[in-house]
């Protein structure tokens, strides 16, 4: 039986690393880790995952070459908290859009976007000035994805922590603000990939009392 090959964009991030590990441990799935530097490859090679070297600031055609043989894409990349608004626009908005366009070019229909907790217009207006560019970037990247014919899911995690994951979350169209370990975000992404009923949906997710599978099934 052919395995589902999942391209993880931003694989060297903390969520991405957990996700690649979980995919490699799941029957019927395999990961292709998109990384920026060759020295990042060893972690993924130890897991038996394929790696592909891509600069997200490059053009769409170059990014699309990484999609060969891929069945699904997960965008977990981000400019990080220590960069300025310029990198936020280039990675969280422009690179996200280019990976969406690459999916369309290559006929890779399944696309999962890891967004920010709240990317509504109200969230932009209420965000502190230092955080607003990030929310704006995520708002328009999400909107671009919604306007495509891709089989998309948009995941809005709460405040990310490096705590050990519990495997229990709360997920719904809207939930109370809260925290969620990055490890559990990766579990949510995996469960979303496994569940076709999540196609065309977006949801917020924080730590909770339901198992990830139960929470995703109940969306």
pLDDT at 44 over 90: yes
pLDDT at 190 over 90: yes
Question: For residue 98, what are the CA distances in angstroms to 84, 93, 140, 144?
Answer: 20, 9, 13, 10
- Across 33-40, average pLDDT: 97
140 classed as catalytic: no
pLDDT given at position 70: 98
> How many domains would you assign to the chain?
1
Specify the range with the lowest mean pLDDT, choosing from 35-39, 129-133, 148-152, 153-157: 129-133
- The average confidence (pLDDT) of the chain is 97
In this structure, are residues 163 and 181 in contact, taking their beta carbons and an 8 Å threshold?
Answer: yes
**Confidence tier at 165 by pLDDT (50, 70, 90):** very high
In this structure, are residues 194 and 153 in contact, taking their beta carbons and an 8 Å threshold?
Answer: no
pLDDT given at position 134: 94
pLDDT given at position 83: 83
83-112 pLDDT, tens digit per residue, is 888 999 999 999 999 999 999 999 999 999
Q: Which two tokens stand for residue 177?
A: 């603000």
Q: Cα(188)–Cα(116) distance, rounded to whole angstroms? A: 15
In this structure, are residues 3 and 30 in contact, taking their beta carbons and an 8 Å threshold?
Answer: yes
Q: Which of 198, 167, 192 is nearest to 180 (CA)?
A: 167
- Across 116-142, average pLDDT: 95
Catalytic residue selected from 111, 134, 140, 152: 134
pLDDT at 81 over 80: no
pLDDT given at position 76: 98
The CATH number of the domain holding residue 208 is: 3.40.50.720
Q: Which of 62, 50, 52 is nearest to 106 (CA)?
A: 62
For residue 212, the enclosing domain spans 4-218
How crowded is residue 149: how many other Cβ atoms within 10 Å of its Cβ? 7
């Amino acid at each position: 039986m052919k395995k589902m090959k999942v391209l993880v964009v931003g694989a060297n991030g903390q969520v991405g690393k957990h996700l690649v590990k979980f995919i490699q441990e799941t029957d019927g799935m395999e990961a292709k880790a998109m990384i920026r530097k060759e020295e990042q490859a060893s972690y993924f090679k130890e897991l038996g995952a394929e790696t592909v070297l891509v600069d997200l600031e490059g053009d769409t055609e170059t990014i699309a070459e990484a999609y060969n043989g891929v069945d699904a894409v997960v965008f977990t990349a981000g400019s990080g908290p220590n960069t300025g608004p310029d990198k936020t626009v280039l990675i969280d908005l422009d690179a996200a859009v280019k990976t969406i366009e690459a999916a369309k070019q290559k006929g890779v229909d399944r696309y999962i976007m890891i967004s920010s907790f709240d990317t509504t217009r109200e969230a932009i207006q209420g965000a502190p000035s230092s955080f607003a560019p990030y929310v704006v970037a995520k708002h328009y990247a999400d909107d671009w994805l919604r306007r495509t014919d891709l089989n998309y899911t948009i995941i809005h995690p709460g405040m990310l922590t490096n705590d050990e994951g519990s495997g229990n979350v709360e997920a719904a169209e809207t939930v109370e603000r809260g925290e969620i370990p990055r490890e559990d975000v990766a579990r949510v992404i995996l469960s979303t990939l496994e569940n076709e009923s999540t196609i065309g949906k977006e949801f917020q997710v924080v730590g909770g009392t339901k198992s990830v599978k139960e929470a995703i099934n109940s969306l």
